[in-house]
Chains A and B, each alone.
Chain A
Amino acid sequence: DTGVSQNPRHKITKRGQNVTFRCDPISEHNRLYWYRQTLGQGPEFLTYFQNEAQLEKSRLLSDRFSAERPKGSFSTLEIQRTEQGDSAMYLCASSLLAGYQETQYFGPGTRLLVL
Chain B
Amino acid sequence: GDSVTQMEGPVTLSEEAFLTINCTYTATGYPSLFWYVQYPGEGLQLLLKATKADDKGSNKGFEATYRKETTSFHLEKGSVQVSDSAVYFCALSDSYGKLTFGQGTILTVHP
Contact = CB atoms under 8 A, between A and B. Distances in A.
Interface string A9-52: 00000000000000000000001010100001111110010000
Interface string A79-115: 0000000000001010101001111111111000000
Given A56-B96, A101-B51, A107 B101 contact: no
Contacts of A42: 4, 89, 91, 101-104
B101 A43 contact: yes
Interface string B1-24: 000100000000000000000000
Contacts of B69: none
B43 A56 contact: no
Contact of A91 (B32, B43, B95, B97): B43
A61 B60 CA distance: 36
Contact of A41 (B44, B91, B104): B104
B34 to A, nearest CB: 8
Contact of A45 (B46, B89, B95, B99): B99
A31 B43 contact: no
A103 B96 contact: no
Contacts of B36: 106
Interface residues of B, number: 24
Nearest to A95: B97
B104 A103 contact: no
B97 A97 contact: yes
B98 A40 contact: no
B71 interface: no
Given A41-B103, A42-B103, 19 more contacts: A33-B99, A35-B99, A41-B104, A42-B89, A42-B102, A42-B104, A44-B101, A45-B98, A48-B96, A97-B97, A101-B32, A103-B46, A104-B93, A104-B97, A104-B99, A106-B44, A106-B45, A108-B42, A109-B43
Interface of A: 31, 33, 35, 40-45, 48, 55-56, 91, 93, 95, 97, 100-109
